[in-house]
Amino acid sequence: MEFIDTHAHLTDEAYNEDLIATIERAKSAGVAKIITLGDTVENSAASLTFSQKHSGIFAGVCVHPETAATWDEDSVEKLYELAKSEKVAGIGEIGLDYYWEKDEDKRELQRKIFVEQLNLAKELNLPACVHDREAHGDTLKILKNEVKGVRGVCHCFSGSYEMAVELFKIGFYIGVDGPVTFKNAAKLPEILAKSPKDRVLLETDSPYLSPAPMRGKRNEPANIPYIAAKLAEIWSVSVEEVAEITTSNAKRLYEKIA
């Protein structure tokens, strides 16, 4: 059985003490590949360097909406140079975070750099990993109308089924993380039950969003099987089938990791 954690932050200081052991635990849990995402140009470079030293680790490069203030006129060029590496699987996570950002001017900056980075993904023919927190309308509007033709994943999907359908229509996937295992997972299990199985990816968002039995603790890629088990329950299939389906989905979207 082979899993892929399509979304983690291995360069986070939460792993300063035991990063190598964390990767070993992931491998023991069947997580054969991990995509680690940066959040600034500098951290994206660090993520790439780390991925180049370890087999099975790939990087995502970007300026995250929460660090939009670090964006400058050279950022897109620097990301372009990084993204040419065979170890960069995608551009991300990019997008909009209206939960943490209430200021309208700063939200405008988020939209601007989201569009610029989507254009970068398009130019390099790389998938985009999209972060959308309480910004469903604008996220969908940008993906459908402003930068068309980029494929990608809406990571830690928190929208409605109707939004998921719109995303599937434009070639997008949805990412499922620890919150699906929470008692208050709301409509997410229902949405996943109705979604095409070939459009769902597993991810941990480590060190955040630990699944139910580990809730409140630091998350890590080795926890992927908890999320897979919940998805197996929702889909009424075996965990082995979830592994097979989601791994082939991840390789289809993120071609460089295949």
In whole angstroms, the minimum distance from the beta carbon of 120 to Zn ion comes to: 18
Binding mask 137-176 for Zn ion (x = CB under 5 A): ----------------------------------------
Is omega for the bond preceding 189 within 30 degrees of 0, making it cis? no
In whole angstroms, the minimum distance from the beta carbon of 218 to Zn ion comes to: 14
Of the ranges 10-18, 19-27, 198-206, 217-225, which one interacts with Zn ion (CB under 5 A)?
198-206
| Residue closer to Zn ion (CB basis): 132 or 205 | 205
In whole angstroms, the minimum distance from the beta carbon of 73 to Zn ion comes to: 26
Structure tokens belonging to residue 47: 């993520």
In whole angstroms, the minimum distance from the beta carbon of 9 to Zn ion comes to: 6
Residues that bind Zn ion (rule: CB under 5 A) add up to a total of 1
Query: Which listed residue (5, 101, 132, 205) binds Zn ion by CB under 5 A?
Result: 205
Q: Which of 7, 11, 14, 12 is nearest to 217 (CA)?
A: 14
d(CA 184, CA 72): 40
| Residue closer to Zn ion (CB basis): 133 or 197 | 133
In whole angstroms, the minimum distance from the beta carbon of 93 to Zn ion comes to: 5
Of the ranges 28-36, 102-110, 197-205, 214-222, which one interacts with Zn ion (CB under 5 A)?
197-205
**Binders of Zn ion in range 78-107 (CB under 5 A):** none
CA distances from 130 to 13, 17, 52, 76 (A): 23, 29, 23, 17
In whole angstroms, the minimum distance from the beta carbon of 177 to Zn ion comes to: 9
| Residue closer to Zn ion (CB basis): 43 or 181 | 43
| Residue closer to Zn ion (CB basis): 101 or 205 | 205
Q: Which residue is nearest to Zn ion (CB)?
A: 205
Residues 6 or more apart in contact with residue 24 via CB below 8 angstroms: none
| Residue closer to Zn ion (CB basis): 6 or 75 | 6
- Residues lying near Zn ion in the complex (CB under 5 A): 205
